[in-house]
Structure 1
Amino acid sequence: MVSEQNSRILLLGATGYTGGLVLDALLRRGARPVLAGRNAAALASLAERHGGLDHVVVDATQRGSLQRHLRRGDVLVTTVGPFERLGYPVAEAAAEAGAHYIDSTGEVGFVRAVRDRYDGRARETGAVMLPAFGYDYVPGILAATLAAHRAGEAVRALDIGYFATGPLWRGISHGTRTTMRDGLTLPSPTWRGHHLVDERTASRVRGFDVGGHRKSAFLVSGTEVLFLPRDFPALTDVTVYNGWFPGMSRPLTLISSAVNTLTRLPGGHRLADALTFPMTLGPAGGPDATERARTRSYVVAVASTGAPGSTPLAEVHLAGPSAYSLTGELMAWAAESLAGRSGGAAGVVGPVEAFGLERLQRACAEMGLAVV
């Protein structure tokens, strides 16, 4: 293994919105990442504005282009999506080089494929691969793990709900709005009866207690369904819900049903795009620091026996900063933690397996994400 002094953090996508947040968080921690991307002029300008950072021009769609710049023990951080279209060569380059890997995806299908394709190779090369290491889906995994531990041996089911407070629609990035829209036509994996089962997004609605109020959330995908069953083999059910817009949960169920019906008809995709187009409306880029300060994230995990109507065994509520601010801080912390790492849980792993529960909870608390 390389020493900490020789390990580098390469940041792919620093000129984008999320990448910029990760860069700022890394610089606050004293790191000097190498900036990577395809736009030489934009990279050079950004590097100069931050005191002359090193930068390299790469084509993220070509594994070899990036792999030439990676060494064993380096940390590759990427925010370049859509990951289903652009992410596989990047993940493969890290696995082949033995470089640790962190991404910001919210695309669970991509995470599932990365685990299937590259977990074995990453274990061979010693690469720790952490997909979806941001607001999607570290808070849910942390809250659910704490709830499962509190519930004890009787736990069989975990329901996780993501919520937010503040003027949310103005505080959502264009990328998030587009992902939410596209997600209505994609299946949401759930853990059912010890198996992964694809369900229609927003096909179910569940209520959660949030800050003393009952709020609804609709079914979505989440990497909780991929990693929690490995940590808790007795789990029969894991389901993730989104409650960002509680009043819209049931209408979105109807919209999801209509959109999925339309896409099965000739020319239906165009009609579905027209129906969901208003979801993408809003300013380009993402919320600035002032807007982010006005919104906060809130995550609930409920542990139960899974029996209909049963009383929850345990609930854990986490509250923290804006989803975007939290993503930047989480990715920067993980990159700094992995730099120079020797040994540990290599492969495509979840946040608890990578860092341990106590260390992860302590780090999240320092970022402002804590149990309430």
Structure 2
Amino acid sequence: MTTPRIVLFGATGFTGRLTAEALVTGGARPLLAGRDPEKLAGLAESLGGGLPTAVADVSRPESVRRIVAPGDVLVSTVGPFLRWGEAAVTAATEAGAVYLDSTGEPTFIKRIFQRYGPAAAARGSALITAFGYDYVPGNLAASLALRKAGPEAARVDIGYFVRGDMARRSSAGTRASALGMVLEPMYGFREGRITREHGRTRPFAVDGRRRQGLSMGASEHFTLPPVHQGLREVNVYLGWLGGLTRAAGVVARATPVLAALPGVRRATEALADRVLRSGTRTPPPGSGISSQTIAEAYDGGGRLLASVRLDGGDPYDFTARVLAWAATTALADGVRGAGALGPVDAFGLDGLLQGCATAGLAPRDAR
């Protein structure tokens, strides 16, 4: 029987490299996996040498299954996940491993909870999706706000905001994933169930300013209601677009019509492929970039009960560090439960709070 290990799939990509560096800095020795043996060897050498590598390609799912064994922790940074993510999920499920990924794609997150989760639970595997800036901060902030609010809480609103030039910082994988999401249906959690929705916006007070957020499907819609039985509504808003948020909301409301037009999906996929092929540059370090995540808990009448704000740094750096923390923690101590799990489910609220602090995310002001 082999000793359980951390397997980092997609190690030579942008997020994968950052995660590999964070793992090694924390004392881990992950198996670096990807499709290019030369790039893998170069990465292993740049990290001090001696790290094991393995060739695995989503176009050959058996090659991904071969690198995962029972008890392993598989970290996948291979995106766009809607197109390429299934091989890693299946490999982890069949092996009875712990699975973590860095996706922010709403449709893929929904599939993890609704399609893949039951099979993973039956095999004793844990699937922990969207374990990065998308959407760990919101899970943490909302859980803290709901704990403070108590049993009266019936609704929670979560807003994600960034200061700095994230357009310049974004990787090719992020841009391709965003293109893939343009035509996908969004969802929310209202009246105690997952519902379709498109293009809602609302303002949040951030640093004394009103900043708009655009509603998005996220993991919080699936992870928060089972833990907080009184919740009837969960809303997640992304505020990265600044003054373009309202216009983006109008476009989002037209998504069902656009998606039905002949050839639109094929054209969008072709554009995403072009973005990936041209994405050879390394995004510059996120100096001057910071993040703010706000959660507000309300009672059934709309009265604000509690709010929590988390401040952090560069979202990519946070993603790499929190993935590294989760992988090493899961390898050493396991996770709480099987099937599709949220961050709090897997590590406990206080444990997640501590882990996020090590990754540079901490509460600032709460009421």
TM-score by length of 2: 0.90
Identify the match of residue 252 of structure 1 among 245, 248, 251: 248
**1:145-294 alignment runs, 5 A limit:** 145-200=143-198, 203-258=199-254, 260-266=256-262, 285-289=281-285, 292-294=286-288
| 1:96 Cα deviation from its structure 2 partner | 1.0
Q: Is the Cα contact below 8 Å between 1:102 and 1:331 reproduced in 2?
A: yes
Number of residues of Structure 1 aligned to a counterpart in Structure 2: 361
Give, in whole Å, the separation in 2 of the partners of 1:64 and 1:283: 27
Cα distance, 1:40 vs structure 2 = 1.6
Report the 3-state secondary structure (helix = DSSP H, G, I; strand = E; otherwise coil) of the residue aligned with 1:105: coil
- TM-score (norm: length of structure 1): 0.89
Q: Is the aligned partner of 1:10 residue 2:4?
A: no
Q: Which moved more, 1:266-275 or 1:176-185?
A: 266-275
Kindly provide the amino acid, as one letter, of the partner of residue 314 in structure 1: A
CA-CA distance at 1:86 after TM superposition: 1.2
Aligned to 2:331: 339
Q: Does 1:101 align with 2:95?
A: no
Structure 1 342/178 Cα, relative in aligned 2: closer, same or farther at 3 Å? closer
Match of 1:36 among 28, 33, 36: 33
Partner deviation per Cα, 1:290-314 (whole Å, 9 max, x = no partner): xx1210111111111243xx33111
Among the aligned pairs, what percent are the same residue? 41
- Cα 1:128–1:285 shift into 2, 3 Å: farther
Letter in 2 for 1:246: G
Contact 1:262 1:271 in 2 (8 A): no
1:95-153 Cα deviation digits (max 9, x unpaired): 11111111111112212222333333433443222111000100000001111111111
- Whole-angstrom CA distance in 1 between matches of 2:280 and 2:32: 23
- Using the TM superposition, give the Cα deviation of residue 342 of structure 1 relative to its aligned residue in structure 2, in angstroms: 5.0
**Cα RMSD (Å) of the superposition?**
2.6
1:80-107 residue CA offsets vs partner (Å, 9 max, x unmatched): 0111111112111111111111111111
| 8 Å CA contact 1:229, 1:235 repeated in 2 | yes
* SS of match in other structure, 1:244: coil
SS of the aligned residue for 1:112 comes to: helix
Amino acid at match of 2:36: N
Instruction: Give the Å deviation of 1:257.
Output: 3.8
Which stretch has the larger CA shift, 65-74 or 326-335? 65-74
Listed as ranges, the matches of 1:68-107 within 5 Å are: 68-107=66-105
Which segments of 5 or more consecutive residues in structure 2 lack a partner in the other structure?
none
Relative to structure 1, the CA distance from residue 124 to residue 268 in structure 2 (aligned partners, 3 Å threshold; closer, same or farther) is closer
Structure 1 residue 26 corresponds to structure 2 residue 23: yes
Cα deviation, 1:174-199, whole Å, max 9, x if unaligned, reads 32233334323221110011110111
* Structure 1 match to 2:320: 328
Structure 1, unaligned runs of 5 or more: none
Contact 2:179 2:268 (8 Å CA) reproduced:
no
**CA-CA distance at 1:204 after TM superposition:** 1.1
